Structures are given as C-alpha cells and as structure tokens.
Structure 1
Amino acid sequence: MNRKFTSVFIISVTVAILFIIWGVIPEESLGSASLESVTTSVHKFIIEKFGWFYLLTATFFLVFAVWLLFTKYGTIKLGPNDSEPEYNYITWFGMLFSAGMGIGLVFWGVAEPMYHYSTPPVGEGFTDQAAKDAMRYSFFHWGLHPWAIYSVLGLALAYFTFRKGENGIISGILRPIFGDRVDGPLGTLINFIAVFATIFGVATSLGLGAIQISGGASYLFSGIENNITTQLIIIAIVTVLFMLSAQTGLNKGIRYLSNINVILAILLMLFLLFTGPTNFIMDFFTTTLGVYVQNLPSMSFRLTPFNADNTWVQDWTIFYWAWWISWAPFVGMFIARISRGRTIREFILGVLLVPTIFGALWFSVFGGSALHLQHFDSIAILDIINEQGTEIALFSVFEEFPLGSLMSFIAVLLISTFFITSADSATFVLGMQTTNGSLNPSNFIKFVWGIIQSASAAILLYSGGLAALQRASIIAALPFAIILICVVFSFF
C-alpha cells in the first residue's frame, strides 16, 4: 500500500473531519445529539464510574517505572549495544519538556495553585493549610505520575523500535501478546485510538495556547482585544510558523526551538524568583517537595467514597490522569524517537525526575509568588482571574513586580515557541503513527496533520466547543489506558 495512505491515515483523517463538522453545527440544531451534549454525558459517566480505574492505572505505571530502575534490565540500551545517544542532555531535556507540558505549565503555573487555595481538597479555603495543600497538589498533578505514564509508553516504543526492529507504531509493541493479529484490523483499531487521542489532546492545547497569547497581547498592548478574532489570527500566524518548522525536520526546527524554550523558561523563572519573595519561594519549594514525597502513596489512592458531594478529586486529579493518558501516545512516541542509544535506567531517571523537579520549581516560583501576593499582601489575584479569565493569571502576577511588562512579553514569546514545538512535535508523531512508523514521515503527511490540528483548534474555539474537544480526548483515554496496561505486560 502507498505509505502515504495507510488505513490508519484514511480512517483517522475522516473521523477527525467528521468530528470538527459535528462540533461546528450549532447546539440548538442538534439538541441532545450535539457534540457538547454527547461528550458531556459520556464524560460524566466515565468520570463517575471509572475514576478509580484512572487512579489505579496511573499509580501502577509509576510503580512499574520505579521498579525497572532497580532491576538488572536498567543497563539495557534502547538500540544496539554500541549505539550512542543522538542528542546531548540539554537538548534531550529541552525536547522532553517542550513536547510534554510546555503550554500547560505556563497556562496553569499561577492559576492552579490559586484555585486550590480558594477551594482546597479538604478544609477551608484561604488559610495557611489551604496554601500548603494547593502547592502540594500542584506538584502531584504535574509530577511523577504524568511522566510515569509517558515513560512507560516511550520506553516500550523505543525498545521495540530500536532494539527489536519493530516499525515504531503502538500496535507493534503488542506483538508478544496478540501475535500477527496486530498487522490486521486489531492493529488498525489500536493505532486509530492513539491517533484520535493525540489529535484532540493537542488541538485543545493549541486552543489554550491561543487564548493565553491573546490574553497576554491584550494585556501588553492597549489596541489589541482579547477576543475570538485575535485568537484566530494568532492560530493562523502560529500555524504558518510551525508548518515551516515541521518541514525542516527533527534536527533543525524542533531541536533549536526546544533549546530556546528551555532558555526562555529558565530566564523567566529566575527573574521572578529573584525579583519576587525569594526566601518564601525557596522555603515553600523545599517544604512542599518533602511533603509531596511523604504523602505520595496516600495522594495516589485518594478518593472520597463517604463524601459523594465533594467532586474535587473528579474535577482535578481524575481529570488530569485521564488527560495525561490521552497525551501519552503523542509524548510517548516523541520521547521514544529522541531517546535512541540511552539505557533504560538513564531514560527513566531523565524522563521521571528532571521534568518533575523543574515543574515543582516552576509552580513554586509562579504559584508561590501569586499565593504570597494574595495571602500576605492582600492583592486580589483570584478576583482578577475570576473577572478576566484564567489566561490573565500569569500577567496579573507580573504586574506586581519590577519590569512586569518585560516579563509578560517574554512569557508571550515563550508560550508562542511552546505552541510551535508542541504542534510541530504532534505533526511529526501523527505522521509516524499513520505511515506504519516511518521515522521521517513525508512533508505532505505532516502538512495534512498540521492543517487538521489548527483547524480543529480554530473551529472549536470559534464555536465554543473547546471543552467538548477536551472531553473527547479524555473519553479516548479510557480505551487507551487499557492499551497502555497491555503495553506494560508486553514489554515485560
């Protein structure tokens, strides 16, 4: 079959286009059959009935990844025994970070701790304890669990592709369990579920990125309004940029932009750390890191069976675990592609620890600064978030510190480069998934996926269906979680 048009490619493109059309049709025209209504109902059912499953699954992946560190298998190379890593540590970490969480960290760095501070998982809001819990759960949601989900799939893909000569697609990892059936309809279904989760997970992230760039631009420049027109223009501009980057391949566009991302992110973080309440931030980081490690087992299994009215765990933890699982095919495949030549132990340590510690420091600096302003200085950051939107949270904090406008400008630049690398990485991964695992998919295939991603984000932003898109990717996470469990046993 022509490599450009595999059955996975044709089915995935068709379903993606149908989904976009469904999302654009006004809700009043379809009633209970609208995308909004259907995804809301299915999402509610999954979260209510399978919340425990997401919780146990994510923790299982973390236990498996940590266990692998201490086994004899840790010294096995992801590739032939004489292979060397393709990228140095700085570039490798930069690419991991940019693909894995870039836009999300910038979007939620201030907002999530503030939301938990006002509505904590237990107890009263706006107290010292609420502030401590807010930071601990921010560490939890962006720490070891999500990266364990990514590492399990990334490791299996890298091992099967570079050491066992499989073709680099998710169905290939399951050959030890299902045999040659992975070459037939079963394999097509597995790969389609992975593509479906990737398309809608990334499109939602692009939508969030456009909203925040628009918020930042309107905050910086009085002539720009934070509205749908501005957001669509931003998507159009960034689409051109990431398509240009995608055409240059992995070793140019993504590689250089990932290095720029890391430099900008560290500069921004250090600047706020030293212009902000430095001692408070570092004390908060150190204390919370200890409490996070200490409480990791209990948080990993926390549900509220005797308090059915408290939906905090469903709204936050279970939502995040499903969200990370839906992102796993995209991030897992990308980090597999850039990790050839590393040992299993090196891979797990790099993928688990470096992004977790960086994310914890990020939340301590940005969320910690916001909590300090609200808790000690009585500056109503939460009121600004509630009135002007989550996307303004970061910029409202910068305004309270020296050179706030400069920091806001760097932040907008950082979100833009994260947007480009996320979309660029996703076109590359979707290209791989839909061309039987080609390590260098054609520019035409990447172009098609780039247009579909941007069109999904733009059309659903326009029709107000971004939340429906997010729910769709979380719905796709349920069957993909089952696939991931099979991946672990197949890999073992």
Structure 2
Amino acid sequence: MFLKSKQNRNYVFIFSLILTAIVVSVGILLPEKFNYISTKLFNVLIDKFSPMYLLLMLGIFIFSLYLAFSKYGDIKLGRENDKPEFSNVVWFSMLFGAGMGIGLVFFGAWEPLCHYVHPLIGEPGSETAVRFAIQQSFIHWGFIPWSAYAIIGLALGYFQYRRGKIGLISSTIDPVLGNIKGKKIIKLVVDVLAVFITIIGVAASLGLGTMEIGGGLQYIFNVNNTIKLQLLIIVFICFIYIWTAVSGLDNGMKKLSNINLALASVLFIGCFFIGPSAEIINTFINGMGDYINYFVSQSLFINPVSDNDWVYRWRIFYWAYSISWTPFVGVFIARISKGRTIKEFVLGVIVIPSIICMAWFTIFGMMGMELGLDFAKDAIGCTETTLFMVLSNYKYGVLFSIISIILLFTFFITSANSAIYVLGMFTSRGDLNPKNRNKIVWGIAQGLFAMVFITLGGLQILQRFAIVVSFPFSLVIVVIMVSLMRELKKEKI
C-alpha cells in the first residue's frame, strides 16, 4: 500500500509548488534579500555567459530553418492521416494571444523611442537614429525569439503526437538520456525547472501589463497609478483568467483569442491610418532591408573590449526573456498544432508572427518618433504611459487608448489562461486535460508572482530575474535540439 501511494505521488507538482512558495515568500517577506540574491546572480551570468545567449539564439534559428527545408520538413506532428484541429485563422489567433501578448502593447512605442533618444550610432533624433530604432526593434521581436518558441513546440509536438510520449519537457530529452543512472532525477529536475520558468516568464509579463493598465487609467481617467491600484487589478483579473481557464480550451481560450485578434487588428489598422502612413510604409520596407542585411552581425553584436551595458539591458534581456517563455509558448502551440507538418509548423510559427510584430513596432514607433526628439525624451520617462502619450497627439487618440487598455486586459487573460493550462499539463504528468484544481493553484501562483515583481521594482527586477532563471533552461534547449535530431534521423524517408 505504501509503495503504491509513493509511486502515485506527483513529484513535479509537489517540488514545483514548494520552490514557487519559497521564492514568492522570500520576495514578499524579504524583498531586500530577494533583490540582493537576484542582482548577484545576474552580475555573474552577465559577466561570464552573455556571448552564450547570442550564439544559442542564432543557432536555434538556423536549426529551425534547417528542419523546415530539409528532408524532414514533410513529417507530420502526428500520424500520417491526422488533420489539424484548428483552421489557420483560429490557429494564428491563438498563437497571437499566447505568444505576443502584453509585450507588444507595453514595448510597442516605448522601445523604438528609447533607441531613437539613445542610439548607439548617429545623433539622437536623426534619420540614422530612426533606422537604428526600427532595426533593433525588428531584431528583438522578429525571427529569432519566435524560432525559440517554435523549436520547443516542435520537439514537444513531435515526441507527443508522433512518438507517443507524454506532454512533458523531460520527454523530449529521453533519446539523449538513454538508460543512464539517475535518469528519473534528471527528468524531475527538468520538469520542475520548466514549471518554475513558465511561472516566472508569464508572471513578469502580467506584472508589466498591470503597470501599463494602471498607467493608462491614470493618463486617460486621472486615476492615481499606485501600487495598491495595480495589486487590485491583478486580483480582479486573476479571478477572470482562472474562471476562463476552468471553462476549457475551446470555450474559454478560443473565444478570448478571437476577441484579442479583433481588438489588436482595430488598433493596428486604425493607428496606421491616423499615423504618418507614408512614412510608416517607407520605414517598414527600409527596416526589413536593414534587418536582412545586418541580420547575422546584429544577432552576434557584442563589444569585444569596451562597455556592453546596452547589450545587457536590451539584447541579452530579450533573449533571456524569450527563453523564459519557451516552455509555456512551446507547449501551448504544440497543443494546438497536431496534424501539421514540420515545415508548416516552423514557417507558420516564425514568419507570420514576426512580420506582424515588425509592422506593429514600425507603426507605433513612427507615431512616436514623428512627434520629435523632445517629445520622445519626455515620453520614455514613464514606461507605462508612453503609448498613451503618443496616442494623445493623434485623432481619436482617446478612443485608441481605451482600446489599448481593453486589449491589455484581454492579453492579460489569454496569456495567464494559456499558462494555467500548460502548468496544469506539466504538473499532471502531461495530461492534455488537467484537473481544475491544478489550474486554480497555478493561477493563484502567477498572480502572487506578478505582485512580487510589481512591489520589488517592475521592469528592472524583471530584467535581472529573467536572465537568472533562463540560464539553466538554455542548456536544456541545447539537449532538446540534439535529442530531436537523433529521433528524426530514425524516420524512414
């Protein structure tokens, strides 16, 4: 009887919950200690391993393209007669809600304006600064981060639907582990790490979204954007996303994803027409040229001797942040991609979302830069109000600001909703229909972590912690790629 109960214990759930509880408790009860430890680890990783992030992310992109256009491209994520569960439109809308989310609204105007005011090349406010701002935004939101999501999703979809493995990150490294001693412990550590990094990545995004919602309410309705308001927003939305999560994937996420796509489309198209449309088109085309022309050199850019503070704050942060989202986004897109070929999956996940992101940053970046350098300097002073300051200078600015706030709410819900589902899978031995009690537990955990990030300093603590927690998982990604390649070589093509 004892042995049976011991075998049935869900150690991934138990240890993940313990680790999460410890970190949340330290963040809430000992904030100074939390900041000290995360800063210390951050400094070590930045000093020693920054080039590794650059090489890894470029390597993932190259590997993804190779798989798509190699002889393995026609292999299905499933049996030969399996058909995609969702239409292309619904599939894309779900990708949009899970993979892009709050980051587009939060960084869409702010990041280009930051580069415009503080370019590495050219004078602030110059045409060179505009090109630099767009090029860097394309790098950070283009093919490379989406290829990281794609490779995890591809590995999970392949092992789960074609090889019959359970839907856990640890299942994707079985070919590498073989029958080595301590295999079960290694797999447990990998799964717990995947759960923890998923909570961190999503909770950080939720924290940013809450700050932006508060900023919008303050800027438009003159509501004081206090910590208390932000915590109330998290609690309110926490109830909503847990409720939608327990209602099921089709009933909850599918409908919310469609609402997201509709709202984002209205904001995207509307702002294109009220903004400097001709300049937006010209800048987008020129930006694509610069992006392609300098893709490799920019992907590997790091100063060999001089200060690399810019690289740490931007490039390394974004790559680490993307890695922290790979388990969550990867599992979710694998869940909705059964029946698609490797080529269809890779190109669908990388190309279309990347182009949309690039167009988004061009529109909102140019709307801000068109208002001049003095405006840009003022706008970037408060990250959470930058977008609303930009929109206020254009026709129907209040209307589009309100749409932006609503979109933040729906992105908040869809991201958290998707993450709850993924965490439920991870802690239910890969069950595609995890129990509601698991979803509720992880929904509350995400909300608590978001509160920790807000109370400890917002974007700054996010940058440090994202890099710290993503480092061990970056090593797991390398093992996953090796494992996937080994299995693909066994295919009879």
TM tier relative to shorter chain: over 0.9
Q: 1:360 aligns with which of 358, 361, 374?
A: 358
Question: Which residue is 2:177 aligned to?
Answer: 178
Which whole-Å deviations, capped at 9, do the CAs of 1:269-324 have from their partners, x for residues lacking one? 111111111100111111101110111011111110132x2421121111111111
Q: State the Cα distance separating 1:465 from its structure 2 match.
A: 6.8
Question: Which residue is 2:230 aligned to?
Answer: 231
Which whole-Å deviations, capped at 9, do the CAs of 1:374-396 have from their partners, x for residues lacking one? 25xxx61331331xx10101101
Question: Which residue is 2:375 aligned to?
Answer: 380
Give the distance between the partners of 1:96 and 1:415, measured in 2 at CA.
16
Where does the alignment leave 5 or more consecutive residues of structure 2 unmatched?
A: 486-493
1:334 paired to 2:332 = yes
1:73 aligns to what SS in structure 2? coil
Question: Which residue is 1:166 aligned to?
Answer: 165
Give the distance between the partners of 2:449 and 2:310, measured in 1 at CA.
29
1:184 aligns to what SS in structure 2? helix
Matches within 5 A, 1:382-397: 382-386=377-381, 389-397=382-390
* Contact 1:8–1:191, Cα closer than 8 Å, also in 2: yes
1:79 aligns to what SS in structure 2? coil
Most deviating of 146-155 and 311-320: 311-320
* Contact 2:113–2:380, Cα closer than 8 Å, also in 1: no
Question: Which residue is 1:398 aligned to?
Answer: 391
1:472 paired to 2:465 = yes
Q: 2:450 aligns with which of 451, 457, 469?
A: 457
Q: State the Cα distance separating 1:180 from its structure 2 match.
A: 4.6
Matches within 5 A, 1:42-121: 42-121=41-120
Question: Which residue is 1:31 aligned to?
Answer: none
Question: Which residue is 2:155 aligned to?
Answer: 156
* Contact 1:213–1:415, Cα closer than 8 Å, also in 2: yes
Q: 1:14 aligns with which of 18, 21, 33?
A: 18
The structure-2 alpha-carbon separation of the partners of 1:331 and 1:244, relative to structure 1 and needing over 3 Å to count, comes to same
* Contact 1:79–1:162, Cα closer than 8 Å, also in 2: yes
Give the distance between the partners of 1:305 and 1:109, measured in 2 at CA.
30
Where does the alignment leave 5 or more consecutive residues of structure 1 unmatched?
A: 29-33
Residue 300 of structure 1 aligns with an amino acid whose one-letter code is S
Residue 475 of structure 1 aligns with an amino acid whose one-letter code is V
The structure-2 alpha-carbon separation of the partners of 1:486 and 1:94, relative to structure 1 and needing over 3 Å to count, comes to same
Question: Which residue is 1:418 aligned to?
Answer: 411
Q: What value does the CA root-mean-square deviation take over the aligned residues?
A: 1.7
* Contact 1:200–1:470, Cα closer than 8 Å, also in 2: no
Question: Which residue is 1:23 aligned to?
Answer: 27
Q: State the Cα distance separating 1:124 from its structure 2 match.
A: 3.3
The structure-2 alpha-carbon separation of the partners of 1:107 and 1:268, relative to structure 1 and needing over 3 Å to count, comes to same
2:178 aligns to what SS in structure 1? helix
State how many pairs are aligned. Answer: 480
Q: State the Cα distance separating 1:361 from its structure 2 match.
A: 0.5
The structure-2 alpha-carbon separation of the partners of 1:400 and 1:166, relative to structure 1 and needing over 3 Å to count, comes to same
Question: Which residue is 2:144 aligned to?
Answer: 145
Question: Which residue is 1:125 aligned to?
Answer: 124
Q: State the Cα distance separating 1:123 from its structure 2 match.
A: 3.9
* Contact 2:93–2:257, Cα closer than 8 Å, also in 1: yes
1:201 paired to 2:201 = yes
Give the distance between the partners of 1:282 and 1:490, measured in 2 at CA.
42
Give the distance between the partners of 2:241 and 2:439, measured in 1 at CA.
11
Give the distance between the partners of 2:377 and 2:431, measured in 1 at CA.
47
Give the distance between the partners of 1:221 and 1:204, measured in 2 at CA.
25
* Contact 2:208–2:458, Cα closer than 8 Å, also in 1: no
2:432 aligns to what SS in structure 1? coil
1:219 paired to 2:223 = no
